[in-house]
C-alpha cells in the first residue's frame, strides 16, 4: 500500500516538473527573451557622471602677532576654489583678541576696552601651487603643495576697520583625495592711527589647519 502511494506521488511530481519545464520553454520561445535580463547598458560619459572636487573648505588655528598688542591665538576658516592645477582663489575669515601694549602694562592704563580688542579679519586673493611629494620612511608617500598667497581684505580692530593687504606662503600635505593638512605663514599689513599718528601695522600669523575637498 505504501509503495502505491509513493509511486502515485512520484509520478505526479515528475509530471508537474515536466509541465513546468514545458511551460517555461513555451514562454521562452514565445517572448524570445531570457528570463533574467542583465541590467547592463552602455554608460555614456558626460559631466553629470563625474564628481568634480575643485572646492576646498578648511579650518585653521594658530598664533597672530598683533603689532603693539602682544601675540594671541587666532582661529579661522578658509574656502578655496581651484581654477587649475596651479592657480586658486581663496577667502579667509578669522578672529583673535589683542593683548596689552607694554605702555599699558607699565603705566597701568588701558587704551582699549575689551570689545575694542576683538580682532577680526577677512581677506580674499589668489594663490599659486608648486606641487611636490613628501617621502616618509617605509612606503609612505604623500603629494604636497608649496603655495604662495596674496590678497586684500579688511581688519576690524580698535574700533576701526582698515583695508588690509596680506601675503604669505604655506605647505599643504594631501593625506588622501579629500583631506589635507596645511601649515601657513602670512603677513597682514594695514594702517592704524590709534596713537594719533598713522602708521603701518605688521601682523604675522602662523597657523595650521585641516581642509576637505568637495
Partner 1 sequence: MQKRINQKPLAVTLLLLSQLVFSKQVLAGGSWFWLSSKPLAQVTVMAPFVEWHSGPASGYPVFHVSEQGEKLELLIRKTKWMKVKDQKGHEGWITIDDLMLMQDASGTKVSLVEPRFDDFSTRRWEAGLLAGEFESTSVNAAYAGYWMTNNLSLELWGSQVLGNSSEIRILNLNVLHQPFPEWRLSPFFTMGAGKLFIKPKTTLVNEGSRSEDTMNVGLGARYYIDDRYFVRMEVKDYKIFTNRKTNEEATEWKIGLSVFF
> What are residue 186's DSSP bridge partners?
168, 205
* Length of the chain (residues): 214
Is residue 16 part of the contact set for partner 1 (CB under 8 A)?
A: no
Q: Tell me the DSSP string of 127-155.
A: EEEEEEEEE-SSS-EEEEEEEEEEEEEEE
Is residue 161 part of the contact set for partner 1 (CB under 8 A)?
A: yes
Out of 76, 153, 168, 209, name the contact with partner 1 by CB under 8 A: 153
- Distance CA(47)–CA(51), nearest Å, equals 8
Is residue 27 part of the contact set for partner 1 (CB under 8 A)?
A: no
Region near partner 1 per CB under 8 A, out of 14-22, 61-69, 174-182, 201-209 = 174-182
Out of 31, 84, 108, 114, name the contact with partner 1 by CB under 8 A: 84
Of 45 and 106, which CB lies nearer to partner 1 in the complex structure? 45
Closest by CA to 205, choosing from 124, 92, 36, is 92
Is residue 182 within 8 A of residue 171, CB to CB? The reply is: yes
Is residue 208 part of the contact set for partner 1 (CB under 8 A)?
A: no
Give residues with Cβ within 8 angstroms of 170, minimum separation 6: 146, 147, 149, 182, 183, 184, 185, 186
Of 36 and 44, which CB lies nearer to partner 1 in the complex structure? 44
Give residues with Cβ within 8 angstroms of 115, minimum separation 6: none
Region near partner 1 per CB under 8 A, out of 7-15, 29-37, 38-46, 71-79 = 38-46
- What string marks each residue from 91 to 120 as x (binds partner 1 by CB under 8 A) or -? x-----------------------------
Region near partner 1 per CB under 8 A, out of 4-12, 21-29, 125-133, 202-210 = 125-133
Is residue 42 part of the contact set for partner 1 (CB under 8 A)?
A: yes
Amino acid at each position: 500500500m505504501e509503495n502505491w502511494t509513493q509511486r502515485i506521488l512520484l509520478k505526479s511530481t515528475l509530471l508537474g516538473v515536466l509541465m513546468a519545464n514545458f511551460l517555461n520553454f513555451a514562454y521562452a520561445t514565445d517572448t524570445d527573451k531570457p528570463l533574467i535580463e542583465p541590467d547592463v547598458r552602455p554608460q555614456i560619459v558626460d559631466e553629470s557622471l563625474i564628481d568634480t572636487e575643485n572646492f576646498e573648505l578648511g579650518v585653521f588655528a594658530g598664533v597672530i602677532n598683533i603689532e603693539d598688542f602682544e601675540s594671541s591665538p587666532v582661529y579661522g576658516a578658509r574656502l578655496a576654489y581651484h581654477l587649475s592645477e596651479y592657480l586658486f582663489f581663496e577667502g579667509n575669515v578669522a578672529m583673535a583678541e589683542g593683548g596689552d601694549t607694554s605702555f599699558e602694562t607699565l603705566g597701568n592704563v588701558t587704551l582699549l576696552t575689551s570689545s575694542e580688542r576683538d580682532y577680526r579679519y577677512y581677506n580674499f586673493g589668489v594663490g599659486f601651487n608648486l606641487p611636490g611629494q613628501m617621502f616618509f620612511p617605509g612606503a609612505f608617500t604623500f603629494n604636497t603643495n608649496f603655495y604662495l598667497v596674496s590678497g586684500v581684505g579688511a581688519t576690524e580692530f580698535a574700533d576701526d576697520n582698515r583695508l588690509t593687504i596680506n601675503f604669505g606662503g604655506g605647505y599643504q600635505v594631501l593625506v588622501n583625495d579629500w583631506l589635507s593638512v596645511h601649515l601657513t605663514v602670512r603677513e597682514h599689513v594695514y594702517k592704524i592711527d590709534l596713537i594719533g599718528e598713522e602708521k603701518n601695522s605688521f601682523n604675522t600669523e602662523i597657523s595650521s589647519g585641516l581642509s576637505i575637498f568637495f
